[in-house]
Structures are given as structure tokens and as C-alpha cells.
């Protein structure tokens, strides 16, 4: 089904002038959702939509009569500063809000005067998590990352036999998920010492992981799997996700049960959820390399083959403390593309529920690290430095094998296609603080 409509029209312009800039992440064709309040205030967080360099307060727009009554009613429950109640209502409700916002924000709209009072500059706001996240699962869909990391441990057989058959994942920790701007202390714990006697102390091999996060919209009852024919209807939208990793803790603890303290100390997401509707023009064919196994029937559909992948350019940027002090902006470390993922977001959701697991509105599915096929496209320092064996050199003369205190990592993404407006996600930024005294 072709879901591209007039809200994606590249010729659309907004009366919010900054939304018409060629380099904005948030033109009128995007309209991502999040929650915000004025920075430094004690106000309650409120639902909003990013438009250019502004945020439109959806409750102000609703109360001013700028939204159709039926659309306004769907925002009930969002006054608590979380989008779960809206997310649970499904795609049709989301499409109706998108259309109402697109029409009201277009240049020449009769609703401009009613909406104008709901605008706040993005530089004047702070964000919270866009929704209550009761469940977080991190997948491993980046085959180039899985291969590169596997080669460090199993040079002759980097991918385990199940990788091309099953979307591998593990359950993560929701309490330590934070929004862009998150600052966290360097984790500490056990690492492998001499022989098999461990050492204890701050992590020495702290890393980032370039991922996307998919938010669940409509949930499913316990015991009822979601098939591929329905999976797209249960997806709400995407964010950038940095799954910070303590590599030395991970190496000691991950067998036999997988990640634990190496992963649960911090996860950072971008504040704006780019809806699946905004991403429609950038859907593309999902194809496996020749000779690879075809997905099992419960992980396959005609729609997923034709439009299951998403063409998203992904980037990692680094700003060290010394760069910040010298007034030097962040430096780009790598680029990759989400269309190279080995599993789609619909396959992640379908597999998660095939055993009867009940997903809920606001649950978060991490994609796993999204590396590219070429040298220099690693989505983590573990890959860029070949396991810490070589350094990444920065333009100011600094070098890194793993992250140092004061480092800020920024993830960025943009979608492009001829004939459509470029859209982006905004920054997903996080900063490493020194370890806390134990």
C-alpha cells in the first residue's frame, strides 16, 4: 500500500520560516513528536511537535481550537507529560494528527493565529523521555557490526549459526534510559585480571554504539503473537539510540547469560520520535545477499520485501573536553546506513511477540549497532580501533581508542530521496563524567 500523501509534498512550506530552511531536520514534512517544558522551569512536561527551530505546544494548539475536535480528543492523557495514551490508539489516529498539523502549519493557513501562541524556541526548552518505557529490548540487527566484532574473537567463524535465522536480542534496563543531553558517570565493576582473578575499578574501555530505537504504538495481549501482516501497524516511530557499553566489564561477565553491568548504566535516545508516516518516502526494498537463507514464514511478508528497509544515513560525532574548551565543534567519526540492517523493525516486533510476549505502548526496541560494510564505517570504537589495537586520530591532534571523561558523543541521522524534503532526527548527545567514588 502506498502511504505517501500530500503531507509529504516537497513543495509544502510553513509559516514558521525556519521550517523552510534547506538544512533543517524538522521541515513541515517531518513533524516528530516529543515532550518538553521551558528550560529551568518547574512546569509540567507537555506534548509537542518540532517544526523548524520551534516547538509547537500541542495542548495550547488544542485549547485554542486549532485542531479538529476528533483529533483534539486523542490527546487526552498526554497532559501527564507522556505520549503513551496517544501512542496506544493506533496508526489512523496518528495520521489524523499529522494531517491536522500539516494543514495548520502550512503557509497561508487560516489557523496560523490560533497556533502561533503555542510556539516556543527549541533553544528555550528541555526534554524528558517522550513516553513511559516499561520494556526495553536491544536487538543485534547490524550484520556488519556482528561480523566485525565476531572476527575479534572468532576470526574463522565470526557469525554464529543462528544469526541469519533469528533476530537476536536481550532484555535491557529501562530505569537508566535518558534523553539527549544525558550525562552519566563512568561505570565501574569487575574486569578480567591476571589468570582468572578479577580486578575491580572504573571501566577503561568505555564505548558508544550507534543504534536506532523503534517505539511500539499499539500493544498486543499476552499470548497473541503479532504477525508480519500486522507488525507495521504496531510501530509508532523511530529515535536515535546510543547503547553505551563498558567493553572490559562485558568481556568478563557476558558468559553465560549475556550483557549485564556492561550495558545497564546508561542508554541515551534522541528527544523527538520521527513517526513511521514521516519515514514513508524513505522506505526501500529489504534484500538479503545472494545465498543467504530466506526468512522463515513468520518473519516474511510481501510488504516487508518491497518496503521493509528504511534508507537512513547515520553518523557519529565526537567532541572532546579539549575541543569544547577551545571552542571547536564536534568531529564526525563515521557514516553508515540503516538500510544495511539484516533484520527490519517489523521483523524485530514480530519475532518479539511470536512466543506470546505482550508488548505495550511505549516499549522500546533497539536495533543493535548499525555499522557499514566498508572500513571506517564501524558504529563503535571497538570496531574503528580493531578492539583497541589502533587509535582514532582527531583533527586537533588528540587520539582515542575508547572514550575519556569529558567526551561528548553525538548521533545524527537524516533521510534523503530525490523529489522529497530531507528530514532528520536532531542530536542524540551524551557526555561521560568521571567515575563516582566507591
Whether 228 contacts 299, CB under 8 Å: yes
Q: How far is CA 11 from its chain centroid? A: 28
Length of the chain: 438
Cell of 385: 580501533
Note the helical H segments in 210-363: 228-231, 247-253, 302-307, 321-325, 345-353
Give the Cβ contact number of residue 160 at 10 Å: 11
Strand ranges, E, within 8-82: 33-38, 46-51, 54-57
Cα–Cα distance for residue pair 280/2, rounded to 1 Å: 9
Cα–Cα distance for residue pair 368/214, rounded to 1 Å: 11
Whether 312 contacts 379, CB under 8 Å: no
Candidates 8, 127, 144, 145; catalytic one? 145
Nearest residue to 262 via CA among 177, 205, 336, 181: 205
8-state DSSP, 209: -
Strand ranges, E, within 160-307: 169-171, 177-179, 182-185, 188-191, 199-202, 206-207, 210-216, 235-242, 245-246, 267-269, 274-275, 283-284
8-state DSSP, 189: E
40 burial type by CB count under 10 A (0-12 exposed, 13-18 middle, 19+ buried): exposed
Cell of 112: 496560523
Rounded to the nearest 5 degrees, what angle is found at the Cα of 327, between the Cα atoms of 324 and 333?
Answer: 60
Reduced to 3 states, what is the DSSP secondary structure of residue 354? Answer: coil
Residue carrying the nine cell digits 481550537: 65
- Strand ranges across the sheet with 33-38: 119-121, 54-57, 46-51, 33-38, 125-127
Helix (H) or strand (E) holding 337, with range, is strand 331-337
Catalytic residue check, 145: yes
Known catalytic residues?
145
Amino acid at each position: 500500500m502506498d502511504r505517501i500523501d500530500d503531507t509529504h509534498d516537497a513543495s509544502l512550506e510553513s509559516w514558521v520560516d525556519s521550517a523552510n530552511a534547506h538544512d533543517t531536520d524538522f521541515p513541515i514534512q517531518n513533524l516528530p513528536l516529543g515532550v518538553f517544558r521551558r528550560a529551568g522551569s518547574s512546569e509540567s512536561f507537555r506534548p509537542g511537535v518540532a517544526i523548524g527551530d520551534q516547538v509547537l505546544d500541542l495542548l495550547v494548539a488544542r485549547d485554542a481550537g486549532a485542531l479538529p475536535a476528533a483529533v483534539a480528543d486523542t490527546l487526552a492523557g498526554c497532559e501527564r507529560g507522556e505520549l503513551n495514551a496517544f501512542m496506544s490508539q493506533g496508526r489512523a489516529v496518528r495520521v489524523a494528527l499529522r494531517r491536522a498539523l500539516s494543514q495548520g502549519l502550512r503557509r497561508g493557513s487560516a489557523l496560523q493565529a490560533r497556533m502561533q501562541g503555542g510556539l516556543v524556541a527549541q533553544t528555550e526548552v528541555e526534554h524528558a523521555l517522550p513516553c513511559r518505557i516499561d520494556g526495553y529490548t536491544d536487538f543485534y540487527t547490524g550484520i556488519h557490526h556482528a561480523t566485525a566484532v565476531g572476527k575479534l574473537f572468532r576470526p574463522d567463524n565470526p557469525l554464529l549459526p543462528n544469526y541469519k535465522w533469528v533476530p537476536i536480542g536481550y532484555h535491557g534496563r529501562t530505569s537508566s534510559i535518558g534523553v539527549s543531553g544525558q550525562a552519566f558517570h563512568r561505570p565501574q565493576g569487575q574486569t578480567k585480571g591476571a589468570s582468572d582473578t578479577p580486578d575491580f575499578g572504573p571501566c577503561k574501555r568505555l564505548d558508544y554504539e550507534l543504534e536506532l530505537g523503534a517505539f511500539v504504538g499499539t500493544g498486543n495481549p499476552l499470548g497473541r503473537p503479532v504477525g508480519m501482516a500486522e507488525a507495521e501497524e504496531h510501530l509508532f516511530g523511530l529515535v536515535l539510540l546510543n547503547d553505551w557499553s563498558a567493553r572490559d566489564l562485558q568481556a568478563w561477565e557476558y558468559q553465560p547469560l549475556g550483557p549485564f553491568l556492561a550495558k545497564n548504566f546508561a542508554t541515551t535516545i534522541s528527544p523527538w520520535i520521527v513517526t513511521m508516516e514521516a519515514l514513508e518516502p524513505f522506505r526501500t526494498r529489504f534484500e538479503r545477499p545472494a545465498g543467504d537463507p530466506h526468512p522463515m514464514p513468520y518473519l516474511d511478508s510481501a510488504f516487508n520485501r518491497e518496503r521493509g528497509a528504511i534508507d537512513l544515513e547515520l553518523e557519529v560525532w565526537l567532541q572532546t573536553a579539549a575541543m569544547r574548551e577551545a571552542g571547536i565543534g564536534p568531529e564526525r567519526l563515521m557514516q553508515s546506513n540503516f538500510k544495511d540492517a539484516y533484520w527490519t523493525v517489523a521483523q524485530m516486533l514480530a519475532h518479539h511477540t511470536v512466543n506470546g510476549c505482550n508488548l505495550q505502548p511505549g516499549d522500546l526496541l533497539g536495533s543493535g549497532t548499525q555499522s557499514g560494510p566498508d572500513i571506517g564505517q564501524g558504529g563503535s570504537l571497538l570496531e574503528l580501533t580493531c578492539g583497541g589495537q589502533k587509535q582514532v586520530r582527531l583533527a586537533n591532534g588528540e587520539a582515542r581508542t575508547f572514550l575519556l571523561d569529558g567526551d561528548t558523543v553525538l548521533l545524527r541521522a537524516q533521510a534523503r530521496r530525490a523529489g522529497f524534503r530531507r528530514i532528520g532526527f536532531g542530536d542524540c548527545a551524551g557526555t561521560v563524567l568521571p567515575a563516582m567514588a566507591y
